[in-house]
Structure 1
Amino acid sequence: MKILFLTFYYEPDLCAGSFRNTSLLKELVKHLKQEDTIDVVTTHPNRYDSFKMEAKDKEKVRDGIFVNRIKIPEHGSGILGQIKSFKKFYFEALELTKNKEYDLVYASSSRLFTAFLGARIVRKKKAKLYLDIRDIFRETITDLYKSKVLNLGLNLILKPIENYTFGRAEHINLVSKGFESYFTKYTKAKYTFFTNGIDELFLSLKKKDTFSRNDKKTIVYGGNIGEGQGLDLIIPQIAMKLSDTHRFLIIGDGGAKNKLEDQLKINKINNVDLLPPVTRDRLIDYYQNADFLFLHLNKHKAFERVLPSKLFEYGTFDKPIIAGVDGYAKVFLKENMSNLILFEPTNSDELYEKIKKYSYVNIDRLDFKEKFSRLEINKKMANSIIALGDEQ
């Protein structure tokens, strides 16, 4: 079997797409026959302009299995920059694969266009298409931009691309059960719901001794700082209310970081520290030394479908989780986790009252860690990929 493995992000990049697809590729290799081959086509690390790591243009995993990385221009998380970057990825990926034959194309996509690239290649190669959908791009982008004229234009472009892409897939995996109703019209594909999971790096952590909690309690967020997280709409407001009792540590970068910085300066807030992206090992240290772990999704209809990958990291620690989420993420948390402070997104008054009433406790989430091991999820997902390739 000859497999093309498309992912915009791959190690050593720092993001959920990289962690998911790097670990999946490693598991998939274990299921292959000696004569099977895989071409991974991805990018050089580019998730954050403030965090750079070197990687080879072409890397051999084993005989017949290679990782090909494409250099793309810096994009600063802006929409125009991302379009320019994906255009480079799209055409170079087509060039890399034009003289090769494949039986199966796997494409993992959060912004639709990697999935579209997979569909285009499938048409030319007459291969089978397995899509891993991590976000509903059209719904998200039109929800974020409120201009009716702009949304009309976006829908005119994105709807045909979406129909073409999803209509060609034999198998579609959705990382969130909340996406299911959106895909009911695409009846050709078989569906699975392999979520994000917990990496062995987190599952093998040794528990740290509890330290003194006489000073201000620390609330930590680590990850992207974009419009989707809406941190500028909640962190300054709640930080002011908790200025005497809590400090916030925000670790990461993204397109909306400047908005957060501006709000902190305007309101002269001094109990929030902003740090650039760090390696996972360093991030784990921050998590282990935190009192609370924080998550927030902006108040948009599209985000009621999503299941943030960050929850799977947070769930491995015994810390209370503060989560401003709604929709499916809220349902998932209630069904699968304990020791939570849940609040309506952007509602700092509700969050303040719940934090003040909360009685601090640490609880190890043993059932959650066992249920959502990335290793076990990857085994099942790899088997489903192989099964599609084996179909006659």
Structure 2
Amino acid sequence: MNILFLTLVKIKSLEERGIYTDLLRKFKEEGHNVFVVSPSERRDKKKTHLSTKDGVSILNVRTFNLQKTNIVEKGIGTLAIEYQYLNAIKKYFSTIKFDLILYSTPPITFSKVIDFVKKRDNAYSYLLLKDIFPQNAVDMKMLKEGGALHKFFLKKERRLYELSDTIGCMSEANKKYIIDHNPTIIQEKVEVNPNSIAPIETVQTAEEKRKIRKKYGLPFSRKIIVYGGNLGKPQGLDFLLETIISTINPNVFFLIVGSGTEFNRIYKWFQNKRPKNAMLVSGLPKQDYDKLLKVCDVGMIFLHQDFKIPNFPSRLLSYLEMKMPVITATDSNTDIGSIIKKNNCGYSVLSGDSESMQSAINKIVSNDEAFYKMQENAWNLLQREYTVTHSYQLIKNKIENV
């Protein structure tokens, strides 16, 4: 098959690790031809260009700045990108007949591209739903519910779902939300196809672990509880900071690694509070981040308590891959915490419930036997539910049954 993948993620090579590159690499390994359309932002100062490496074609399309920019340019860029992608596909892929279009949210503004390729090539369209927009923006009070912009994006969202032959959701709660809030969608075209990776099992010696902890100034004798990833409003990070201050267990040390809109505020908090049980590290390249994760003991996931949509952060997979027990502090709508509890690889609390959080932390670091069992369960859960082999097979089955 010829597969077209549309994304806002900057992809330069399928050798990079991530939920999209791992899946696309699986398609390539199974003998399919992969074509990627990815942004080249204005700040990169590069024209639209096509490159081919190891049989994979990557079309980097010049766009406005989409990440780490002001809200005006981000908004214009998000609306303009479907025209930019469409023109680039017509120019560079005019002779390619695609069998499958894969795309993810965000954004929800690829409708014209999908519609064009579907009609031109009779291609199958598969949405990997990673973000439920615009409701998430309403939850975070970034959009006014019922306002002109909200109505505009709702129309875009409905059109995207209408064009998608299958909608792959991250979890059962995601699936239920989409079906319940979109009564016009045919239920049979909505399925669970979760975030997935190609796991790599690693073994680290005590000396290697000590060396990395020394490099970053981390204590050797404490359990390191890490929060890694985006530092933004959706994560509800005030509760993370409250957790650091409230924790008096001498065997615990917190590590925050990441970047995002809240980084500067958190940095100032660290400067003012100077907590002795925590450290803040700015976002690292993927390879360095993975090495740092390997020396940590427990992973943390935070989500803002006001969310009505069931988010499912992909950072869970990094934790499971490192065989880490996980503590989730989320809203009541997501099922990520219940999955962790059901598979006995961590604890789940509601965001803002400080007493339950302290109880979870103390439990997870005080019983070595239970801790080692959770490590094993974390790896088993990843192998069972969140591999690209599983995701690939779901997509392949859909196309074969057409």
Q: Normalising by structure 1, what TM-score?
A: 0.81
Q: Secondary structure at the match of 1:301?
A: coil
- Once residues 321 and 4 of structure 1 are traced to their aligned partners in structure 2, the CA distance between those partners, rounded to angstroms, is 35
- Once residues 333 and 124 of structure 1 are traced to their aligned partners in structure 2, the CA distance between those partners, rounded to angstroms, is 42
Instruction: Identify which of 135, 138, 144 aligns with 1:142.
Output: 138
- Once residues 117 and 13 of structure 1 are traced to their aligned partners in structure 2, the CA distance between those partners, rounded to angstroms, is 26
1:287 corresponds in structure 2 to 293
Contact 1:174-1:180 within 8 A present in 2 as well: yes
- Aligned-residue offset at 1:98: 2.2
1:66 corresponds in structure 2 to 57
Q: Normalising by structure 2, what TM-score?
A: 0.79
Matches within 5 A, 1:233-244: 233-242=238-247
Matches within 5 A, 1:44-123: 44=40, 57-62=49-54, 65-74=56-65, 75-76=67-68, 79-99=71-91, 100=94, 102-122=97-117
One-letter amino acid of the structure 1 residue matched with residue 108 of structure 2: F
Contact 2:104-2:129 within 8 A present in 1 as well: yes
- Aligned-residue offset at 1:296: 0.8
Q: What count of residue pairs does the alignment treat as equivalent?
A: 372
One-letter amino acid of the structure 1 residue matched with residue 50 of structure 2: K
1:276 corresponds in structure 2 to 282
| Alpha carbons of structure 1 residues 289 and 39: separation in structure 2 relative to 1, 3 Å | closer
CA offset digits 1:97-121 (Å, max 9, x no partner):
1252644452322224254354343
1:194 corresponds in structure 2 to 193
- Once residues 188 and 215 of structure 1 are traced to their aligned partners in structure 2, the CA distance between those partners, rounded to angstroms, is 52
One-letter amino acid of the structure 2 residue matched with residue 5 of structure 1: F
Contact 2:124-2:165 within 8 A present in 1 as well: yes
- Once residues 118 and 393 of structure 2 are traced to their aligned partners in structure 1, the CA distance between those partners, rounded to angstroms, is 27
Runs of at least 5 residues in structure 2 that lack an aligned partner in the other structure: 211-218
1:335 corresponds in structure 2 to 342
- Once residues 275 and 117 of structure 1 are traced to their aligned partners in structure 2, the CA distance between those partners, rounded to angstroms, is 41
CA RMSD of aligned residues (A): 3.4
- Aligned-residue offset at 1:10: 4.6
- Aligned-residue offset at 1:313: 1.7
Which protein, 1 or 2, shows the higher relative CO under an 8 Å CA cutoff with sep ≥ 6? Answer: 1
Contact 2:82-2:111 within 8 A present in 1 as well: no
| Alpha carbons of structure 1 residues 147 and 42: separation in structure 2 relative to 1, 3 Å | closer
Contact 1:11-1:45 within 8 A present in 2 as well: no
Contact 1:296-1:324 within 8 A present in 2 as well: yes
Runs of at least 5 residues in structure 1 that lack an aligned partner in the other structure: none
Q: Secondary structure at the match of 2:186?
A: coil
Contact 1:5-1:40 within 8 A present in 2 as well: yes
Contact 1:142-1:154 within 8 A present in 2 as well: no
Matched, 1:128 2:128: no
1:219 corresponds in structure 2 to 225
- Matched-pair identity in %: 19
- Once residues 96 and 108 of structure 1 are traced to their aligned partners in structure 2, the CA distance between those partners, rounded to angstroms, is 16
| Alpha carbons of structure 1 residues 275 and 93: separation in structure 2 relative to 1, 3 Å | same
One-letter amino acid of the structure 2 residue matched with residue 329 of structure 1: I
One-letter amino acid of the structure 2 residue matched with residue 332 of structure 1: I
Contact 1:321-1:341 within 8 A present in 2 as well: yes
One-letter amino acid of the structure 2 residue matched with residue 205 of structure 1: T
